[in-house]
Structure 1
C-alpha cells in the first residue's frame, strides 16, 4: 500500500522539504492529498517519467485543473499540453521565432529595467522585494517581448496570477475570476494577433506568425497558446527564482558576502537556487496506459506529479542535498524539466535572474530581511515568496 501525504498542511507549504524527504524514503509512488494525484519523488524515477512522453502525457496539465477550467480547444493550441509528434512541430516553429539570439539581445533592456527598479528603492532603507523588484521585472520584459503596451501591464500580471492559481494543488482559487482572466487574455491577444497579421512589428507575436519550418506555420490558436505559456511561465518562474534567491541569500549571509565580493559566482548561485529552492516544485503528467514506476503499477488515466523539488534534493544524486552550496556541481538538476519538454524559457529566466542579481548586489549593501520568517505563496506547484520586506543601504 502506497503512503499518503497531505501537501496542503501549513507546515508543508512553509517548508516542503521534510515531507519530500519522507516521500522519497517511503516508496517510489505516493498519494498526495487533497488532490488524490500520485507523486513520484526519487530522482531516477522522476527522470524516467520526464523522458517517457509515450506513457506520461503532458495533457496532465489540463487534468490538474478544476473541471470548470478545462478547455480542450485552448489546450489543443498549447505547446506545454502537447505530445509527440505534434509537440515536435510546435517546438520547431516556436524556436524559429524565440531563438537564443532573441534572448541575448534582450540583455541591455533587462539591465536598464533592473537599474530603474533599484533606482526606485535605493535610499529608502526598506522595500518590499516582491512588489518592487521580482514582480515588475519579468512582467515588463515579457510584456514588451509580446508587444503589450505599458497601460496593460497591470492586466497582464493579473491574468498571469489568476491562471497560475488554478494549478496551486491546495486551493482552487476563484474559478469565475480565473475564467474571466483567461477570456480577457485570449480576447486581448486575439486582437493583437489580427493587428500583427495586417501590420507586423518587431515583437514576438509577429515573429511567431511569420515563423515557417518545411512549409508549416503556427495556427492562430497555436500562437495564442504560446503567448499564454510565455505569460505564465515567463512571469512566475523568474519572479520565483529571484525571490527564492534573495530569501536564501539572507538565510546565508556568508554566501551573500562572498557573491557580492565576487559577482562571477552569480551564475553558480542561480543554478544552486534552482536546485535548492526550485520555482516549479512539480509538473503534471497523465498516464496513457498502465505503467510501472519503481515497482508500483500506475493505472491508465492517472494524474502523476513528477516532484522536481524532491528529485533536486535526492541524496542519491546530490550529496548533502539540504546544504546550500554555490560551489557544488548542479549538473543534472531538473528545475526546468528534462528531455523534449525542457523549458523553452530557461535561458530568459536565467538571464533575467543573473542581471537583476548583478544590479542589486552591486548597488544595495547590507541586504537583510525585515521579518525573520518568509511568507511563502500558498501553492504546492510554485515555490515563491508572497511578501518579503528587506532593508539595505546604498
Structure 2
C-alpha cells in the first residue's frame, strides 16, 4: 500500500473512532445485562436511555426538554415502526440533518416519503443488488482486498478491509470514477457528518462546524462528477444513470437534485456496513465452534449475517415522535412525546427469541429490526447484506483465521453505532 493510501485509511479510522466514542458515552460496552433488567422492570420507561448514558439523544438531540420514553420490548417497537402515520420520523434529521440541507429520506414522513422512496428504491431492490454479487462486489472484495492481504498472514480487518471495501463497492455502483482520493475524502466527510452529535460541548464545538464543512465539501465534490457523467451521455446501469433517466412526479432530476440525493445516500453507504461486518467477525471469532460450523457449510453464510446483526446490531436505537395521543404497554404516550426504540434490546427479547444471547446460525428468524422495519426500512439493506455475505465467504477462505494474541481482544461498544475499535487477526500462510 502506498503512503497516501495508508494516510487515507488512518484518517478514516480517526473519523470512525470519533463516532464510536461519541455513541459510547458512559454506557457499559456490553449493555445486554442492562437491557435484560430494563425489559423486566420498566419496558416502557420514562426518560431517554441515551441521554442517561451521556450519549447524543436521537429523540431530543437539541436538548429542548421534549418528553422522551424509551421502549425495550420487541413487540412494542415493532408496532411503532409499522405505524408511520401515528409515529413520525422527522426527528431523525435533528442530529446531523443541517449538514445535508435537511434532505434525509429517513426523516421524511407521509406522502413525501412514500413518493421519494418509490422513485429511488428500484436500484436498491434485492433482485437488482443480487445481480451485482458476482459482477461487481466479489471482484472488488477478492481482487482489491482479500488477495492483497492473503500473503501477509495478519491484518487489522477493520482498518484494512471493513472500512474501505463497502465504500469501494458502493461507490462503484453509484457510478463514481475509481479514484482513491475521491473515495477517501467522501468517506471521511460522510463519517464527519455522522459524528456531529456529541454530548461533550467542547468536542461538539469542533464536530458540529466540521460536519457543516464536510456536508458542503461533499456537495461541491459531487456536483462536477454528476455534471461530467451527464455530459458523457452514456447512461450506465448504475445509480447515477438511473437517477438521470427516471422521473419524480413527472419531472427529471436536475444535477443539483442528484448531487443532494447522492450525498444523503453516502451517509449510510459505508460505515454502517463496516460496523456490521466488524461486529459479525468479532462474534464469530469469539465462538470457534460456530465459526467452524460455518466453514463446513457455507450455505449458512446468509444466516450468519442475519443472526449476528440480530445479536449485536450496529444501529442500536431509532427514534419516532407521537403524532397523537398513543398507548404502549398500558402507558399513555401524549402527542409530541418522542419514543426511543432500543433495537438492541428488542433483538434479545426472550418473548420473541429463544435463548436470545446464544449465537445460533440455524435460529428460526423473526422479522429483523436491525435495518428498521416497515415503510422506513433501510433503503440500502440488500446492498449491505450482499456485501457482508460476499465478504464473509472470502474472509473464511483465509485458513486458520483467529484473533491476534499480540493485541487485546476486540470489544464491541456503544449504545448506538456499535462497533470495535480495531480487529487484529492472524491466519495461516502457505509455506509459512
Fold match by TM threshold 0.5: yes
Does the aligned pair in 2 maintain the 1:142–1:230 contact within 8 Å?
no
Distance in structure 2 (CA, Å) of the matches to 1:72 and 1:300: 28
Spell out the pairing of 1:271-282 with structure 2 (5 A cutoff).
271-282=306-317
Distance in structure 1 (CA, Å) of the matches to 2:127 and 2:257: 22
Q: How much has 1:296 moved relative to structure 2?
A: 2.6
Q: Which range moved further: 202-211 or 80-89?
A: 202-211
Name the structure 2 match of 1:4: none
Name the structure 2 match of 1:57: 88
Name the structure 2 match of 1:84: 110
- Pair 1:145 & 2:181 matched: no
Cα deviation code 1:24-43 (max 9, x no counterpart): 12321342224464321111
Q: Which range moved further: 117-126 or 254-263?
A: 117-126
Does the aligned pair in 2 maintain the 1:97–1:208 contact within 8 Å?
no
Cα deviation code 1:25-62 (max 9, x no counterpart): 23213422244643211111101110121222111112
Name the structure 2 match of 1:311: 346
- Pair 1:71 & 2:98 matched: yes
Distance 1:191 1:287, change over 3 A: farther
Q: How much has 1:155 moved relative to structure 2?
A: 0.5
Does the aligned pair in 1 maintain the 2:153–2:426 contact within 8 Å?
yes
Spell out the pairing of 1:164-203 with structure 2 (5 A cutoff).
164-167=194-197, 172=204, 174-200=207-233, 201-202=235-236, 203=238
- Pair 1:355 & 2:381 matched: no
Distance 1:50 1:113, change over 3 A: same
Distance 1:19 1:228, change over 3 A: farther
Q: How much has 1:129 moved relative to structure 2?
A: 0.8
Uncovered stretches (5+) of structure 2, i.e. residues with no partner:
1-22, 61-67
Distance in structure 2 (CA, Å) of the matches to 1:107 and 1:73: 30
Name the structure 2 match of 1:158: 188
Q: TM-score, normalised by structure 2?
A: 0.81
Does the aligned pair in 2 maintain the 1:96–1:212 contact within 8 Å?
no
Distance in structure 1 (CA, Å) of the matches to 2:257 and 2:328: 33
- Pair 1:134 & 2:162 matched: yes
What SS does the corresponding residue of 1:143 show, helix, strand or coil? helix
Distance in structure 2 (CA, Å) of the matches to 1:340 and 1:51: 7
Distance 1:130 1:20, change over 3 A: same
Does the aligned pair in 2 maintain the 1:168–1:380 contact within 8 Å?
no
Spell out the pairing of 1:187-266 with structure 2 (5 A cutoff).
187-200=220-233, 201-202=235-236, 203-212=238-247, 215-218=250-253, 223-266=258-301
Does the aligned pair in 2 maintain the 1:240–1:384 contact within 8 Å?
yes
Distance in structure 2 (CA, Å) of the matches to 1:376 and 1:106: 30
Name the structure 1 match of 2:36: 21
Q: List 4+ stretches of structure 1 deviating above 4 A.
A: 7-11, 167-173, 216-222
Q: CA RMSD in A?
A: 2.5
Distance in structure 2 (CA, Å) of the matches to 1:73 and 1:132: 28
Q: Which range moved further: 33-42 or 129-138?
A: 33-42
- Pair 1:374 & 2:416 matched: no
What SS does the corresponding residue of 2:101 show, helix, strand or coil? helix
Distance 1:217 1:295, change over 3 A: farther
Does the aligned pair in 1 maintain the 2:89–2:108 contact within 8 Å?
yes
Q: TM-score, normalised by structure 1?
A: 0.88
Does the aligned pair in 2 maintain the 1:23–1:41 contact within 8 Å?
yes
Uncovered stretches (5+) of structure 1, i.e. residues with no partner:
1-6
